[in-house]
Structure 1
Amino acid sequence: MKKLLLLGLLVSLYACKGTAQNEKKEQFPVSKTEAEWKAELTDAEFQVLRKEGTERAFTSELLNIKEEGTYVCAACQNPVFKSKTKFDSGTGWPSFYDYIEGNVAFSSDNKLGYTRTEEHCANCGGHLGHVFNDGPKPTGKRHCINGVALNFVPTKG
């Protein structure tokens, strides 16, 4: 009887198994295989943009850039942030109080045991960083971005 009950329990648990993990990942305008991304990106870019890693704080060459320009996704060159929205958050990562509308996508991240808002390039899906509600006016947001996920394009003038 115990074996029959155990078998019934196992069958019912298997029947309740979710299928979300089997669903096809979201498609982006720029879509490449993992091998193609690995061939195009540096190891650090691949780890952050494609594997959702985080670079070490205070290591980005972009931290001290003060000139006018645009920050673009390092994987596909999609413009994601304007330099006029950059600020020194003291966190060790490039931070912005606003993003370029339509060029950044958001999702939930629960990897640390609590929910954070993750940011991705809306063009290729590359992981950029996270957004927090402790930024300056006018938005009150802090887009905490991995510098390795960005390239800086100075304004020509």
Structure 2
Amino acid sequence: MRGPARIVNVSSRAGLRSIIRSPQLLARLTSAASPQQLDELAAEFVSAIRAGKHAAQGWPSSMYGVSKLLVSLWTAQLAERLRGEGVMVNAMCPGWCRTDMSSQSGNKSAAEGADTAVWLALRSPKDLATGQFWGERSTIGW
């Protein structure tokens, strides 16, 4: 017997909704109803960065933060589309891990950072909601 499918996307606290300071832009991001709309907003961000107009348009300077915000928003969209299909979809933040990306300066090992992802992948659907953002085995507000 096979269990339910699980999707665990690696995101980051650097991509919480609070990085968007413009209420209008945040409303556009959170009301995007499809991956295509998120793609369009991502392209808008890249164009604004290239033109040096990102701050005036309400975007932060962090490409990493915006990319992780988009991963989290896409996760919520996917969870909603797959609700009732037996697929659990969640995003998680591994924390600051000692990897090449952090120049080995993180406060967690890569294995410690992977703990929540593995935990989410192995949990029973009876134990978890879908469409949540997790860190250290606890939900985090988006």
Alignment TM class, shorter chain as reference: under 0.3
Structure with the larger helix share: 2
* Bigger relative contact order (CA 8 A; separation at least 6): 2
The structure number with the bigger radius of gyration is 1
